[in-house]
Every structure is written in C-alpha cells, then in structure tokens.
Structure 1
Amino acid sequence: MGKATNILDEKSLSNDDMLEKYKAQQSCERGFRFLKDSLFFADSIFLKSPERIEAMAMIMGLCLLVYTLAQRQIRKALSASKSTISSQLGKSISNLTMRWIFKCFQSIHIVKINNDISISNLTSERKYILSFLPDKCRYYYQC
C-alpha cells in the first residue's frame, strides 16, 4: 500500500503532474465506455458460470486492446504524414476514433459472382483511410 499512497500523495506531485495523472485516466474510461456501448452487444449476453464470465471479460479486454492499438496506429500514421481525415461533422482531423473508422467501413461488402470476388462500396475515401493502416489490413480489402 506504500506505493499507492506515494503516487497519490499531494506532496510528492506538482499540480501539473497531478492534473496530468488525472487526465490520463480518461483514456482508460473511454475504453470501458466502448465496451458498454450498445454496438458491442454486451447487454445481450447472459452467462451463468463464473468461468464463462471471466472468459467473456478476457475477450472484452482483448477487444479493447485491439481497438486501442488500431486507433493508436491510425493516429500515429496520420500524425507522421501530417494528414487528416474527415470527421462526422466534415472537419479535417487527425485524432479520430476507431468507432468512426468502423462506421465508415460499415457498408463495405464482399461480392462473389461466378467465382469472381470483389469488394463493393470501396470508395476513394475509404482507400485513403486504408492507406494509414498496415499492409495486412489492406490485404482484406484487396488494396
């Protein structure tokens, strides 16, 4: 318990450090808000055994990790290239969320006709967004 009290001890942190640590909690809280979002469908899952609840918590934690890493990757790539992407409001931003990216890619579908596979609704804007993601992500969209 000694370390925990040292971290939170007002005398050991400057005002700026304390404010920085307080604000750093927000990114974690936003992540858990993502897990509670209705799009995640967590409220539609009913588990009875403690083992299954633990397994679901682990899966949700891993999903949050992947979500956060993907968001970090795209923000880092945008920052490095000094580029932006249009937000929901049409503003050019570089700190967008993965939720917005998921929404942008929501209407893309794989179409298979006579063994020919193509991707529908892959617009130039979506290809532009894909350019900021790793090659393995672009592979799935045949880019």
Structure 2
Amino acid sequence: MADARLKVGMFILATNKMDDKALSMETLLANYKAQQKVERDFRFLKSLEFLTSAIYLKKLERIEALLMIMTCSLMVYAALEHKIRTRLKQNAPFYPDMKGKPTQSPTARWVFLTFEGISPFGFQEHRMVMGI
C-alpha cells in the first residue's frame, strides 16, 4: 500500500538547470505550475471578447505595437483580478461563480459580467444607478 501511494504521489519534472543552489525543487515546481496561469492569460488575448481574431495587420511595426498594447492590457487585467481577489479575501470570503457556487478566486471577466446592465444615470445634480 505504501509503495502504491509513493507511485501515485510522484510527479516527474525534467529540467536542464542542474545547479540545485540556483533553483530549488520547490521553486522549479512553483515556476512550472505558474506557466498555466500565463498560458490561460494569453488564451484570453485570443478570445472573441478581446476581438483579436478580426484584426489583420501586415506591417511588422503595427503587429509589434498591437502586441504591446495587448500585453499592457493583459497586465492591467491581471492586476485588476489580483486586486479583486485580495479585497474579496479581506472583506467577503466568497463570491458566486458562474454556476452559483461560492469561490474565493473569481475571474475579472466574471465580475465584469456581473455588472453588465448596470448604468449610472445623472439628472441635474442627482445621480442614480439603473438596472440593479
């Protein structure tokens, strides 16, 4: 039983960085797991909501400029998502996800969708919120 547990609990991760002092196994595993978040974020850049599939550029300078703008917007999105999750942990322990289940790490996109349809409305000096 203990031998089977060792085999099931094993995770093989290969690297060409052989210096244990420069990169510990814990750091190596953390870096490997962090790749998934980066790839998920770049998948967001290719989604239909970001409208990148409808843009056709030929000049290298324009492609580089668009990539820079997209990367900057991804950084803002990631910072906003981090802020949402940090404040959520401080003030309210859970937020409903798409299925209505409580979560501590909602995506910024889901929070944006929650506020869809809510509009500020101003009339003279009075401000109201519509669509709640």
Give the TM-score taking structure 1 as reference length: 0.69
Higher-Rg member (1/2): 2
Deviation at 1:14, TM superposition (A): 4.5
- Which of 97, 105, 113 is equivalent to 1:103? 113
SS of 2:129's equivalent?
strand
1:120 equivalent to 2:111? Answer no
Instruction: String of CA shifts for 1:22-78, please: whole Å, max 9, x gaps.
Output: 001111111101101111110111222212111111110111011000000010111
- Corresponding residue number in structure 1 for 2:6: none
1:38 equivalent to 2:45? Answer no
- Corresponding residue number in structure 2 for 1:53: 63
Higher helix share: 1
Instruction: String of CA shifts for 1:102-133, please: whole Å, max 9, x gaps.
Output: 11122223446689664322x3xxxxxxxxxx
SS of 1:63's equivalent?
helix
Distance in 2 separating the partners of 1:35 and 1:8? 30
Deviation at 1:81, TM superposition (A): 2.6
Percent of aligned pairs with the same amino acid: 35
When the two chains are superposed, the root-mean-square deviation of aligned CA atoms in Å is: 2.4
Unaligned runs of 5+ in 1: 1-6, 124-143
- Corresponding residue number in structure 1 for 2:78: 68
- Corresponding residue number in structure 1 for 2:31: 21
Give the TM-score taking structure 2 as reference length: 0.74
Q: 1:52 to 1:8 in 2, by over 3 A?
A: same
